[in-house]
Amino acid sequence: MRIAFIGGGNMGRAMISAILNEGLTSPQSIVISDKKPELLTQLRQDFKVFITEDNLEAASRGNIVVLAIKPQNLDEVMAEIKGKLNISQLVLSIIAGRSIATLQQGLEHDAIIRAMPNTPAHIGKGITVWTATEGVTQEQKEKAHAILKATGKELYVADENFIDMSTAISGSGPAYVFLFMESLIDAAVDIGLPPDTARQLVLQTLAGSVEFTAKSDMELAQLIQMVTSPGGTTAESLKVFENGKFKELIAQAVNAAYRRAKQLRG
């Protein structure tokens, strides 16, 4: 596999690391383009890959072209490589919100996979939701599957609308979890726990709870009941969440992210 990354930011870096760790290709078969020379220098130093500031040069070197740029930079990149991709090349976009139709029109290219990875991909624990156009061959799908699986779990969907929905859940979701963790640590410190102790308690509580849930056959409501004794400490704290309409607030946040994802599809 020869893979060209247009954009060398955080998620692109995570994918490059995962690809090399899994031995899917060699450093010599990866090229990265970016407008930040200092970022490119660091990537070359870390991964021994080929680097360039020319997006068209990068695209010409890969049979898979990964678009790992920010949504606001897509129009500029498409203008540079529009109509210049080979029919046999696969475009794999991890750009939040930008639709397949936008990519097809802007690139004049039909073989496109749109994917939404998330931050835990940095440690191989991510999940990526993806879909493909009819122009993508089975061989190309298998290669994309291997790349995305290297960063964690992957889930193929036939309906592109599910990509925008997953953006609001798994794509933005780590930030929700980080915010909850930060709030819980702050609350622990406020009642008197040392910061290091608070951090350890919160991180292990969340990690253990997630693993326990994954291995349990019980529904989440049952798990909540398992922890909650009538008139006990957990019951008292859950009342506060209920009075503050915690579930409604989560729903509002998810819907806000979903609306923004749909706005970006333009």
Distance of CA 139 to the CA centre of its chain: 23
Residue 1 DSSP class: -
**Per-residue model confidence as pLDDT tens for the chain (266 residues):** 899 999 988 899 999 999 999 999 999 999 999 989 999 999 999 999 999 999 999 999 999 999 999 988 999 999 999 999 999 999 999 998 889 999 999 999 999 999 999 999 999 999 999 999 999 999 999 999 999 999 999 999 999 999 999 999 999 999 999 999 999 999 999 999 999 999 999 999 999 999 999 999 999 999 999 999 999 999 999 999 999 999 999 999 999 999 988 887 75
The gap between the terminal CA atoms of the chain, to the nearest Å, is: 32
Domain 3-166 and domain 173-264, same fold? Reply is no
Q: What is the domain class of 173-264 according to CATH?
A: mainly alpha
* Structural domain boundaries in the chain: 3-166, 173-264
Per residue in 12-38, pLDDT (tens digit) is 999 999 999 999 999 999 999 998 999
Sheet holding 30-33, edge to edge: 50-52, 30-33, 3-6, 64-67, 90-93, 112-116, 126-132, 152-156
pTM of the model: 0.88
Q: What is the domain class of 3-166 according to CATH?
A: alpha beta
